[in-house]
Amino acid sequence: MERIAIAMQDGGTGAGAQHGDAGREANLILSCRRTSIWDPRGGLFGFKYSSRRHPRKCGVKRFLVVREVAGAVSGVACFWVTSLKKDYRRRDRDRLVPPRWMDAAVCRAEVCYPSGRTHGRHRAVKRRDFIALIGGAAAAWPLVARAQQPAMPVIGFLGSASPDRWASRIRAFREGLSEIGYSEGRNVAVEYRWAEGQNDRLGQLAAELVARQVAVIVAPGSTAAALAAKRATATIPIVFEVASDPVEIGLVGSLARPGGNITGLTSLNAEVQPKRLELLHELVPSASVVGLLVNPRNPALAEPATKRLDAAARSLRLKMHVLHASGDRDLDAVFATLLQVRAGGLVVGADPFFTSRLEQLATLALRHAVPTVYQFREFTAAGGLMSYGGSLTETFRAAAVYTGRILKGDKPADLPVQQSTKVELFLNLNTAKALGLEVPRTLIARADEVIE
């Protein structure tokens, strides 16, 4: 808006008629605001009727114009007054020149812009239009504020099993996020990838999360998933939860100072494998031959388990047969072999493939009357005889807390690998009765849960 029309009048005749050029050349002085409109170049004009006489032009009454500097308001669209093409006519209630005097009273006056710009033709805005425009700008504020909010961080969850199998662990993970101030769907998003017990898919799933550019990758409950995530990225932070020694399998260089972009927790399930054999021997003291089931496609877990349990078997004077299974058909062959060697019990090594087939393992063990022990409670709940291992609900909750700390700015290299010290023992007395076993009272007293 470069020009603005100023209505001027004297006692009985229009200022334009009596004063002519003098009115046009009159400079306007600053005054307080009564009615205001926005200047599209930034600033606010105010109009006020003044009855004070001009110091040099006697008999002239004027309208004073204020150009007030106003800070630019981010996100509010300024409107162009000239584009509205409204008549410079105000109603009597606006305390401006009555319409009948407008034609005779309007003259042009030069407005003193700070930048020295020249004036142009003026278009006024009626109060109703002005209120409508201000209302529209106010309605736009929430949209502008929402657009300025930071993007919601995304967690990539790499699971080796299935969501149904890990329902209780996912609940524990969400509880851990809540403890540190995050709620899935409210201020953090989680992208889940499930391998359904097929370790060969983990590399592809980890690559998908990297391409998704997640803020952090969580690989809990599986050594194979943690290794796949580490191979997929060296920049995105990784939080693992494994049952084996993370230093031994090459995940980190040190528990106290993991270094790089990876840290996490260990549930001590690998360390307590010899204890599972001891519990099985306590429950079936007459057995002299036992079997160990491992997955040859996962040597990171199979080889350490074989070494530990072989040493434990010799200390208990037991003969141990190592059996391999990496597919569903292999499981039937494993139990057929156990019958041939007259094994009195079976220890199932930690592996995502076995975890995804807990019901099948429990059914085959009961069908072939082979007392079997595994590490997770779900095995006992599915009909297995006994399970003993670290508390996964505790480690999953702790993994979520580490994830939240990384989202808040902590670096994985500065977070030491935590070691879970809590282990749980679960017994299924119904299965023991079906196998013809009498469970010692001392063993029942030590159990965290007994299924009857």
Q: What is the CATH number of the domain that holds 225?
A: 3.40.50.2300
Q: Are residues 298 and 428 in the same domain?
A: yes
Looking at the fold, whether 83 and 128 belong to one and the same domain comes out as yes
* Count of other CB atoms within 10 angstroms of residue 131: 11
pLDDT of residue 248: 85
**Residue 130 half-sphere exposure, CB side, CA atoms within 13 Å?**
13
Query: Which pLDDT belongs to residue 3?
Result: 38
Whether 214 and 362 map to the same domain: the answer is no
Q: How far, in Å, CA of 38 to CA of 30, rounded?
A: 16
* 410 or 56, which is more confident: 410
Supply the DSSP string of 80-109, one letter for each residue: -HHHH---S---GGGTS--HHHHHHHEEE-
* Distance from C-alpha of 366 to C-alpha of 348, rounded to nearest angstrom: 14
Distance CA 38, CA 207 (A): 54
Provide the residue range defining the domain that includes 231: 154-267+396-405+409-418
Residue 184 pLDDT level (bands cut at 50, 70, 90): very high
Task: State which amino acid sits at residue 315.
Answer: S
Tell me how far apart the alpha carbons of residues 169 and 393 are, in angstroms, rounded to a whole number: 6
Q: What is the mean pLDDT of residues 223-250?
A: 93
Last-in-domain residue among 85, 118, 147: 147
**pLDDT score at 199:** 86
Q: Could you tell me if 52 and 131 lie in one domain?
A: yes
Q: Please say which residue of 109, 127, 147 terminates a domain.
A: 147
Q: The tokens of 69 are what? A: 């500097």
Burial 323-355 (b: 16+ CB within 10 A, else e): bebbeeeebeebbeebeeeebbbbbbbbbbbbb
Is residue 385 over pLDDT 90? yes
What average pLDDT does the segment 153-171 reach?
A: 93
pLDDT band of 132, cuts 50, 70, 90: low
For 283, residues 6+ apart whose C-beta sits below 8 A from its C-beta are 345, 371, 385, 386, 432, 437, 439, 440, 443
Nearest to 290 by CA among 269, 270, 309, 271: 309
In which band, very low, low, confident or very high, does the pLDDT at 133 lie, cut at 50, 70 and 90?
low
Same domain, 289 and 244: no
The CA distance from 19 to 150, in Å, is 60
Of 113-127, 322-336, 419-433, the poorest mean pLDDT is in: 113-127
Write the pLDDT tens digit of every residue in 47-79: 444 445 545 544 444 444 444 433 333 343 343
Do 143 and 243 sit in the same domain of this protein?
no
Where b means 16+ CB within 10 Å and e means fewer, 167-202 reads: eebbebbbebbeeeebeeeeebebeebbbebebeeb
- What pLDDT does 304 receive? 87
Q: What is the DSSP letter of 14?
A: B
Q: Where do we find the tokens 């060969």?
A: 200
Whether residues 401 and 285 share a domain: the answer is no
SS3 78: coil
Based on DSSP, count helices (H) and strands (E) in the chain, helices before strands: 17, 18
Residue with tokens 């080889």: 303
pLDDT band at 95 (very low <50, low <70, confident <90, very high): very low
Residues 191 and 44 in one domain: no
Q: Which of 349, 348, 365, 342 is nearest to 288 (CA)?
A: 342
Listed in sequence order, the residues at least 6 apart from 111 whose beta carbon sits closer than 8 Å to its beta carbon are 3, 4, 28, 65, 67, 119
Q: Is this model's pTM higher than 0.75 or not?
A: no
Same domain, 329 and 214: no
Give the burial class of 158: count Cβ atoms within 10 A of its Cβ; 0-12 exposed, 13-18 middle, 19 or more buried: buried
Whether 269 and 308 have beta carbons less than 8 Å apart is answered as no
Angle at 163 (CA atoms; ends 159, 167), nearest 5 degrees:
110
Question: Are residue 119 and residue 166 in the same domain, yes or no?
Answer: no
- Same-domain check for residues 116 and 219: no
Residues contacting residue 183 through CB under 8 Å, at least 6 positions apart: 177
Which has more confidence, 165 or 324?
324
User: Furthest-apart CA pair in the chain: how many Å?
Assistant: 127
| Interacting residues of 290 by C-beta distance below 8 A, sequence separation 6+ | 277, 280, 281, 313, 318, 319, 320, 321, 343, 344, 345, 346, 347
What pairs with residue 238 in β-bridges?
217, 262
Query: Which of 105, 127, 147 is the last residue before a domain boundary?
Result: 147
Is residue 159 within 8 A of residue 193, CB to CB? The reply is yes
The DSSP code sequence of 158-215 is: EESS-TTTTHHHHHHHHHHHHHTT--BTTTBEEEEEE-TT-GGGHHHHHHHHHHTT-S
Q: Quick one: tokens of 317?
A: 């004077």
Examine the domain organization and report whether 308 and 253 are in the same domain. Answer: no
Closest of 397, 379, 395 to residue 387, by C-alpha:
379
Q: Quote the number of domains for the chain.
A: 3
Please count the residues of the chain. 452
The angle, 0 to 180 degrees and rounded to 10, between the axes of the packed helices 223-232 and 202-211 is 40
Asked if residue 240 has pLDDT above 60, the reply is yes
